[in-house]
A and B are shown apart, each in its own frame.
Chain A
Amino acid sequence: MVWVYYLANLGVFFCGYAILALGLNIQFGYAGVLNFAYITFWAIGAYVTGVFMLGPASPILGETYILGLHFPFLVGLLAGGITAGLVATAMGTLILRRLRSDFVGIALFALSFALYDLVGNFTPLFNGWDGILGVPLPLNFFGLDAEQFILYYLIPSGILAGILYWVASRLSKSPYGRALRAIREDEVVAAAFGKNTYLLRLSALVIGCVFAGLSGGLMIGFLTAMAPAAWTNAETFVVWTAVIVGGMGSNRGAVLGTFVIVILLTEGTRLLPVPLELQNQLPALRGIVIGLILIAVLYWRRRGLIPEERPQYRLVPDKGATVRSQ
């Protein structure tokens, strides 16, 4: 039975990370926006969902955090997504109007450090380095125990991931997705053809960050705790690797990349029978393997395992027009 719970565990992780990868793919794969602060938005979603669901902070236990509203999960989840989107809007308006894409990446990276230190040191916000804990299990109408809950939580996770996958593919196959891709290919030319590149890139940044926020909200319902140690920048690059290995611009690729990088390599190797003295080396080894895979893909298969889908249109040739061959 342990195995069933373990697999269910992996399943929830898979959904959460797939949402993350889909969101980053909208930013980077569609629009070419480099967001090196991505995991920060996941954390924002997790914290906000958490403090919506928790009761008021208890000073006797020495914990401090904002809100503590005892709200139901779905409200918290929504609030988490929206807050992540709002923070992204603020950052985007600061950064995107003035800076070219590579500098956007650097600026966002810097902001992620600032937010990390803020959350860690400013305890009234989310209880500092200790973080928040004891978030009630969400949607637990049947009073399931922790193990049963894992199995049950697969359902809402799958539903959320499914909905967001659908949204991401809708965005991809639309005039909007096309405009984002044009900006990714050549921002100057896109502007010369009437695209408001600033607003389009900002919208992609915000949508992707809402995805991240929703993923964070989903995950805290399952982890029940959140602290800065859980969202270091290394996590950002795990998601980046998943998107690049899967195939930039491809939603199916993002999901497959998540499966390979996050599930098989990162989470799946936790149960490997490793001698005790090597236990500490395992995370480092994992990082090395992920790095090697990233390099290998960039070297031999730049468009990823499942490259971006080539759109096909059915054109009806006009008989009247002159058709000349090259």
Chain B
Amino acid sequence: MSDDLLVVSGLTHKYGGVRAVNSCSLSVRRGSVTALIGPNGAGKTTLVSVVSGTERLQSGEVQFDGAGIGGWPSYRIARRGLLRSFQLSREFGGLTVVDNLLVVGQDTSLENPISAVFQSATARRRESSLLERVAELLQEVGLYEVRDRYARELSGGQKRLLELARVMFAEPKMALLDEPMAGVNPVLIERVCELIVRWQHRGVTFLIVEHKLEVVEAICDHVIVMVGGSKLAAGTMLELRGNPEVVGAYLGGTAAHA
């Protein structure tokens, strides 16, 4: 088993004439929490979208867990264990909180009309064991009280938690989180950090797009800096603060303290 769970090489992605990602290569170590930072417009979200298959791969290669997943439709990538969250919460608004989780369960063998009409005892047992996991996870992230609400009725912060919980319920090998802290209050940020570290210990690898450097500092083992569509540098936060190029391009004033 290779040390790198995700390897992106030579990835280029254009929107019309704009190169959002330009020949970008990077890798994420298995079991790590890796941050992807960089100024707005650096191509971070595009990279996440292409790697997860939400955007179709144009050129370059993506290796995940030993398989070339470049160009796969997103549902196949998801089934392989690579799950993503979205920068703006995209909960299934017309589904309850519980259903938002149940629906992303990775066992899709019952999701067909035949099993639906002949609901077998096995199916019911499967459902109730899923519900146990739902209860557990909702308590863990603090959404248990609002479990029967429609997701569209949640507050902004609760939607962020649901976005995260949904990724975790799908039992990823790797989670790509696109700005999980955006619009989240400081108390909640602490909880989200705690959760990410807890899930890391359970074996999940994370790649997190994040602007809050204190969060990056606190939970990320490894940091990748993206500027102008490609990787500028990678290393620990400490190393990067000593890198004048990175400081100039992104970290700016904060480097004065390093």
Contacts and interface: CB of A to CB of B under 8 A. Distances in A.
A265 B96 CA distance: 35
Contacts of A176: 110-113, 115-116
Interface string A164-197: 0001001100111111011011101111111111
Nearest to A326: B142
B1 to A, nearest CB: 23
A200 interface: yes
Contacts of A312: 148
Contacts of B112: 176, 203
B108 interface: yes
A316 B132 CA distance: 7
A174 B79 contact: no
A313 B94 contact: no
Interface residues of B, number: 54
Contact of B170 (A175, A193, A207): A193
B104 to A, nearest CB: 4
Nearest to A319: B139
A1 interface: no
Contacts of A167: 117
Interface in B129-161: 131-132, 134-136, 138-140, 142, 144-148, 150, 158
Contact of A203 (B75, B94, B99, B113): B113
B52 interface: yes
A153 to B, nearest CB: 26
Contact of A189 (B92, B108, B140, B148): B92
B174 interface: no
A321 B139 CA distance: 6
A325 B142 CA distance: 6
A311 interface: yes
B103 A182 contact: yes
A212 to B, nearest CB: 16
Nearest to B141: A324
A318 interface: yes
Contacts of A315: 98, 131, 134-135, 138, 144, 147
Nearest to B158: A326
A323 to B, nearest CB: 5
24 contacts: A170-B117, A176-B111, A178-B95, A179-B111, A181-B103, A186-B92, A188-B74, A189-B86, A189-B92, A190-B92, A191-B78, A192-B52, A192-B74, A192-B78, A193-B104, A194-B79, A195-B108, A310-B150, A311-B96, A313-B131, A315-B135, A318-B132, A318-B139, A325-B145
Interface of B: 52-54, 73-75, 78-79, 83-84, 86, 90, 92-96, 98-99, 102-106, 108, 110-113, 115-117, 119, 123, 127, 131-132, 134-136, 138-140, 142, 144-148, 150, 158, 166, 170, 191
User: Which 4 residue pairs spanning A and B have beta carbons closest together?
Assistant: A174-B116, A194-B78, A185-B92, A321-B139
Interface of A: 167, 170-171, 174-179, 181-182, 184-186, 188-197, 200, 203, 207, 249, 308, 310-318, 321-326
Given A171-B116, A175-B103, A176-B112, 10 more contacts: A175-B102, A176-B110, A179-B111, A188-B74, A188-B90, A194-B75, A207-B113, A308-B94, A315-B131, A316-B132
